[in-house]
Amino acid sequence: MSSSHVDEALLSHYDFTHDPFAARTPGFRFFPAQRKPLLGQLHHLARYSQLLLVVSGPTGSGKTLLRQALVASSNKQAVLSVVVSGKASVQVEGILRQIAMGLGLARSDEQSILAQVEELVAVGQEVYVLVDDAELLETGALEALLALAEGSAMGRPHVFLFGEPELVSRLQALSDGEERFHALKLKPYTLEETRDYLAQRLEGAGGDIELFSDEDIERIHQQSEGWPGEINRVAREVLDEGMYAQRKQAVDGDRRGGSGLPKKHLLALGVVTLAVAAAWFVRTGPGPAVPDAGAQSSSGGVGEGAPAIQFAGSHTAPQAAPAAEEAQPVIREPLALAAGEDDAEDGAGAEDGPSGVPAAVSVQAPVRGAEKPESAPVAVAFPQATKPAPAPAPVPPPALGPAPKPAAAPAPKPMPVAAPTPAPAPKPTAEPLGAPPANDWYRAQASGSYSLQVLGTYSESSAQSFVRSQGSGYRYFRKMHQGRPFFVVTYGSFATRAEAQAAIKALPPKVQASNPWPRSFASIQQEAASAR
């Protein structure tokens, strides 16, 4: 099933006007929690600060949405916004070309761009240069943006960089201790903020937060770690799971048929029906039934036609008895036995004659045209002369042999012995220079534990050098980013996020300046696995 069909099924099932957790939704409202104060701070710094401004956060933290809100909330008459993408070009020439196009310039060198900015400032219009995915830019492009942010005495553009946390470390290295930029760090949502964010998204699509139980919301928050991009992904998965589960229940109900009974109940009903039919067949037997007395004529004679005899289970027309000339001795024992059985069990048979034979059965039937009645006797054999024959005893079923002895009950299995609690892992040590990334160490950590992400770089030698210079507790792992190997340096292993957050204060000032942030080993293990 294609994604478009899945989207249509989702909208139809929940009666949504659009996918509430798509990246871009109609009539999107900016979620104010934690982001609105940060948006106001960006406007304030753009007006009064002379530094390049950096907004950092991991993938899915809402950097792009914050950049869009910054552009949308700016005064269009007083601010000219130029949006640049690090994905479009990572080199300095490509970045300057995008800025020049946004300013309507034919030339894309730094001097021409600054000259145009000065002219716009002179007429009362500010210039915002906003760069998405800035962590992808090469060093030369970052240096050019730092130079543009400094501007000249006549005017300067306000440069905003939106990127992942490793961008801050790279800018610190380029600044060489000088104050050339100001960094703002995005924070994840709390559980209540996650609930409010989900409610806003659902309401925008015509839904309601009641679609999610408290357990669903807690699961979404835990798996996303409070980052809005991951909240959208996990919430969509929960909606899909609920839709498929409800549809499966409906299909299973249709398969049970109109009776509405489960299959096991229908099977039991069939077994009971077969048992009743078998009992009835054994009771009545396959022999003919006793003819009804009303089948004889009222005078007791044969009349012009032969007497009719009906047989149980027969749906054909009654057959006439043979004429006297064709009559042969007939053994009537089954008929007599059947008559005796009906009398013994039902007690509602025809009235018996003097010798115990039902009145409806004629021992000797006179036939028209015969000289003597005795010339065509009908011989009837009875087991007894005066009493009706007893009903035949049912045939016993064949012997099945002696019943097998019940198997001895298996001996109870011994209760499992709890494994001893493993000793806590020793404190991590630094990787030696030139060693491969210690992805095995990360896989061995508990997924619920946390580490501090300190640095990210595309250069493995840079990661190794950083680990070697900082010493014990630092490691790095490899992941894939934009199709390229990417190396992330981490510090320590902590049982909870709070412990990891508290450990930041104990790091050296140089490391703290790179804005380390807690990460769960579950997310690290997932990224490291994708690089294998």
Band (381; pLDDT cuts 50, 70, 90): very low
356 vs 235, residue with greater confidence: 235
End-of-domain residue from the set 255, 279, 297: 255
Helix (H) or strand (E) segment spanning residue 148: helix 139-150
Write down which residue in 215, 234, 255 finishes a domain.
Answer: 255
448, pLDDT greater than 80: yes
Domain total in the chain: 3
Domain that holds residue 229: 7-24+191-255
Which residues, at least 6 apart from 87, have a Cβ–Cβ distance to it below 8 Å?
132, 133, 136, 482
Q: What is the pLDDT of residue 376?
A: 43
Same domain, 226 and 247: yes
Distances in Å between the Cα of 340 and the Cα atoms of 285, 310, 333 are 14, 17, 10
The SS3 of residue 474 is strand
β-pairing, 474-481 vs 450-457, is unpaired
For residue 412 the two structure tokens come to 């109870």
Considering the domain architecture, whether residues 200 and 161 belong to the same structural domain is answered as no
Q: How confident is the model at residue 466 (pLDDT cuts 50, 70, 90)?
A: confident
The answer, yes or no, to whether residue 284 has pLDDT greater than 70, is: no
| The pLDDT of residue 437 is above 60 | no
Read off the tokens for 178: 């000088």
Are 483 and 526 within one domain? yes
pLDDT at 252 (0 to 100): 65
pLDDT band at 298 (very low <50, low <70, confident <90, very high): very low
Has residue 211 been placed in a domain?
A: yes
Q: Does residue 296 sit within a domain?
A: no
Secondary structure (DSSP) of 195-261: HHHHHHHHHHTT--GGGS-HHHHHHHHHHHTT-HHHHHHHHHHHHHHHHHHHHHHHHHHHHT-TT--
Q: Which two tokens stand for residue 264?
A: 């096991």
Cα 420 from chain centre: 35
Partners of 181 in the beta sheet?
52
Whether 412 is covered by a domain: the verdict is: no
Which residue did the predictor score with more confidence, 496 or 295? 496
> pLDDT category, 429, cuts 50, 70, 90?
very low
Q: Is residue 204 part of a domain?
A: yes
Judge whether residue 388 has pLDDT over 70: no
- Which secondary-structure segment (H or E) carries 359? none
Is 238 found in the same domain as 116? no
Vertex 400 angle, CA 399 and 401, to 5°: 95
In the chain, the amino acid numbered 197 is Y
**Could you give the CA distance from residue 54 to residue 147 in angstroms, rounded to a whole number?**
15
* Secondary structure class of 121 (helix, strand, coil): helix
Of 522 and 276, more confident: 522
Question: Is the pLDDT confidence value at 343 over 60?
Answer: no
Pairing label, strands 484-494, 450-457: antiparallel
- Quote the pTM value: 0.47
